[in-house]
Amino acid sequence: MVMKQGYFITGTDTNAGKTWATIALMRYFRRQGKTVAGMKPVAAGYSFPCPASERRDDRLKNEDALLIQENASLPIDYDLINPYAYQLPVSPHIAGIDNPVKMAKIVESFNVLKELAEIVLVEGAGGWFTPLNDSEDISDLAKALALPVILVVAIRLGCINHAKLTWQAIQNAGIPCAGWIAVCVDPDMLNRDENIRTIETALNAPLLGVLPYLASADFDLLAGRLAF
């Protein structure tokens, strides 16, 4: 089996809702009968030591990456999904000072996943310009994987500016944007619908769905709010 389509999921910032959007997309495509795999190449924070029975060296596993592994259509080795997991919740280039991200390793894992599933979703870390190492950032990763981007916009105060800036940066990088997803992260957001409509007008890309605020995840509900 060979990948027919892949997407790179980026966000307007840290905690924009990228993982929830990624899982919702995985379930959306699975409902359509597609085989789906996901990847979170770099994760900083929410990473913990493996159980002793699974441990190799000081290997960590990340909570978000485990969710992605759980929602794949087929069993996939964790190391393919998350080559770099760091314990500290800081920028990857700082968290990984003793084990810096190597782009070639991520591309190698991605190329294996491409042979396993029809749809492959790759979730970035932080925002579009989050540094991965001393010389490369998330935008470089998207370029290396040559995937169209889906932009996740956290709908909260300042979201219009963040969405427009990130959209412009994606355009400047020459990478196609398949669309954007609004994730309502603030239950008390004023004029939420007006903000979403303003962003929809500003971005020359389709709105793929509005994910409502939820205190806890319901990925089937969220998948039902998506439409390509």
77 class by beta-carbon count within 10 Å (0-12 exposed, 13-18 middle, 19+ buried): exposed
Q: What is the spatial distance between Cα 197 and Cα 213, in angstroms, rounded to a whole number?
A: 17
Q: Which position among 18, 34, 40, 143 bears the catalytic label? A: 40
Q: Are 179 and 207 in contact (CB under 8 A)?
A: yes
Which DSSP category does 131 fall into? B
- Closest-CA residue to 39 (of 16, 62, 15, 12): 62
How many helices and strands in the chain, by DSSP H and E? 9, 10
Q: How many CA atoms lie within 13 A of 71 on its CB side?
A: 29
Query: Is 4 labeled as catalytic in the residue annotation?
Result: no
Q: What is the spatial distance between Cα 21 and Cα 18, in angstroms, rounded to a whole number?
A: 5
Q: What are phi and psi of 188, to 5 degrees?
A: -105, 15
Residues annotated as catalytic are 40
